[in-house]
A and B are shown apart, each in its own frame.
Chain A
C-alpha cells in the first residue's frame, strides 16, 4: 500500500476570500505579524501496489481529472510511504 498526500492551493494572484478572513481573524487575536494567509486543502490517498513512481503518475492524473481545478488551483503530490 502506498500513501500519497495531495496538497491543493490557489495559484498566486487568485483572490482568496477565505484566506483574507483568516488573516483578519488572526490580526483580531493579536497576531500582528501575519502578512498573508491562504487557504488550501489536503487529500490523503491510499493506493494499492508498491510502485511509487507509477503511483505518483496516477495521482497526477487524478489531480488533472478531478482533484484540482487547474484554472485557479495548483497541486503538489507527496508519496508519504
Chain B
C-alpha cells in the first residue's frame, strides 16, 4: 500500500501514523507538507492527529483551507482512501469531506484515556474486524463531541455510515459516534487513535486491524 501523510503546522501524530503503516507492511509513507498542491500517487492519504494551526478559530478550520486539501478532495472524489484521525477528523468535517462538526467535549475536559468502541460496519477500514467487535484505542482530544443536524444523523444511520460507536460515550457525541465514513465508504474520520494501539508497548494492539484492512483493500 502506498500512502501519504499530510503534515500541518501543529500536527503531532504523523510519525505514529507512519510507524503503524510500516508495521502492517505498507510502503514507506511520504510526508506531504500542507502547502503542497499535489499528492504523490498513493492509495491512502492520512490526516494525522495534533493541533494544526493551534486549533485557532475552530479545530481543523484553517488546516481544512490549506492548499493541499484540494488535492485531498480530488483523491477522495476519485475513490482514493482518506483516513482522518482526531485532528484529521476535525479537518475532514471542516473541509466538508465528511458531514457534521466536532465540538468541545460535553464535560469540557480534555480527554486522555483508553476508550472502547464497537465496529458497526464492515468496509475497507474494518474488514479485518468482526461485526460488533469491541476495540480499545487511546483517545486524546478536547473537541471530539460529534454533532450534526437531525437529517444528517438520519442519513448517516440509514446509509450505514457510522463505522465506530463508543460503548461508553466519553464526550457527548450524538448517537455515540466515534467514526463515520463518506457515502462511498472511502473516507473515514475517527476520533480515537488506532495508530497508537499497534505495539506491545501500547495499551493494546487493536489498531493493527484497521491498518491491515486498508492495506488489504488498497
- Chain B's interface size range is 20 to 34
Q: Provide the main secondary structure of the chain A interface.
A: helix
State whether the Cβ of A15 lies closer than 8 Å to any Cβ in chain B: yes
Partner of A15, one of B58, B94, B147: B147
Contacts of A14 in B (CB 8 A): 103, 147
Q: Is the CB of B147 within 8 A of A21?
A: no
Contact indicator B57/A67 (Cβ below 8 Å) = yes
In the complex, are the beta carbons of B61 and A15 less than 8 A apart? no
Number of residues from A at the complex interface, CB < 8 A = 11
Q: Is A69 an interface residue (CB 8 A)?
A: yes
Contact of A17 among B57, B108, B149 (CB under 8 A): B108
Shortest CB-to-CB span from A5 to chain B, Å, is 16
User: In the complex, what's the smallest C-beta–C-beta distance from B152 to chain A, in angstroms?
Assistant: 8
Flag B72-108 by CB within 8 Å of A: 1 or 0 each.
0000000000000000000001100001110111111
How far, in whole Å, are A65 and B96 apart by their CA atoms in the complex? 11
Interface residues of B (CB under 8 A from A): 57-58, 61-62, 65, 93-94, 99-101, 103-108, 145, 147-149, 172
Residues on A facing B (Cβ under 8 Å): 14-15, 17-18, 21, 65-67, 69, 71-72
